[in-house]
């Protein structure tokens, strides 16, 4: 059974992951991997006012956040995702963004952003110039424990930038 989206009308930021890992699929909650730092980053960056973990992903709409994945199929890593799955996922994501109209679509992972926009070169986390279905695009480092490209401090700086962007837009 696919991992359920947590999106409600009035969403300000839609977090988009690549696809659920095995533990997320088993628990029925987003970013549930033992080494995933997504929930700690949300709190440490002050995007949410209290510490929460994956079991509380259904609370994200309380703070204007939503969460979904590009591909619904669980995998232990992204290397088994097919091009067809990803293209279908992009079409589905476009429909979700048009329906819910978030101010910002936050792609959780540089690789995910590259896939969607076809960028080949370096991508810096933060606000991007190109919109996605009318929403601003923000790239966050992937908070998986497997991501050795960014330190926790660098990830936290990106999540804090997202918070500043939200405050700027009201």
Domain of 53? Answer: 17-165
Residues in the chain: 170
Confidence of residue 12 (pLDDT cuts 50, 70, 90): very high
**Per-residue pLDDT for 1 more than 80?**
no
Residue 10 lies in a domain: no
| CATH number of 98's domain | 3.40.470.10
Buried b (16+ CB within 10 A) or exposed e, 135-162: bbbbbbbbbbeebeebeeeebbebbebb
Confidence of residue 120 (pLDDT cuts 50, 70, 90): confident
pLDDT tens, 50-71?
Answer: 999 999 999 999 999 999 999 8
DSSP E strand stretches across the chain: 13-17, 65-69, 104-108, 126-132, 135-140
Residue 2 lies in a domain: no
Q: Do 152 and 37 meet the contact criterion of CB atoms below 8 Å apart?
A: yes
pLDDT tens, 85-109?
Answer: 888 889 999 999 999 999 999 999 9
Q: Around 131, how many Cα atoms within 13 Å sit in the side-chain half-sphere?
A: 10
- Closest listed residue to residue 45, CA positions, set 152, 127, 170: 152
- How many domains does the structure of the chain reveal? 1
- Closest listed residue to residue 99, CA positions, set 108, 91, 87: 91
Residue 107 lies in a domain: yes
Q: Do 68 and 59 meet the contact criterion of CB atoms below 8 Å apart?
A: no
CA 101 to chain CA centroid, nearest Å: 16
Residue 157 lies in a domain: yes
Residue 70 lies in a domain: yes
- Closest listed residue to residue 70, CA positions, set 58, 48, 87, 53: 87
Buried b (16+ CB within 10 A) or exposed e, 46-70: ebbeeebebeebeebbebbbbbbbb
Verdict on whether the full-model pTM lies above 0.95: no
**Per-residue pLDDT for 148 more than 80?**
no
């Amino acid at each position: 059974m696919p991992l359920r989206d947590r999106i409600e009308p009035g969403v300000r930021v839609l977090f988009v992951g690549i696809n659920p890992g095995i533990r997320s699929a088993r628990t029925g909650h987003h970013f549930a991997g033992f080494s995933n730092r997504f929930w700690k980053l949300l709190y440490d960056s002050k995007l949410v006012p209290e510490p929460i973990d994956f079991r509380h992903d259904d609370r994200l709409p309380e703070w204007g956040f939503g969460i979904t994945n590009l591909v619904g199929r669980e995998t232990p890593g992204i290397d088994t995702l097919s091009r067809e799955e990803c293209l279908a996922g992009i079409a589905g994501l476009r429909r979700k963004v048009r329906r819910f109209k978030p101010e910002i679509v936050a792609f959780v992972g540089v690789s995910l952003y590259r896939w969607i926009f076809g960028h080949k070169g370096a991508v810096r986390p933060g606000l991007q110039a190109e919109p996605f279905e009318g929403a601003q695009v923000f790239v966050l480092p992937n908070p998986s424990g497997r991501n050795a490209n960014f330190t926790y401090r660098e990830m936290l700086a990106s999540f804090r930038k997202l918070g500043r962007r939200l405050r700027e837009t009201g």
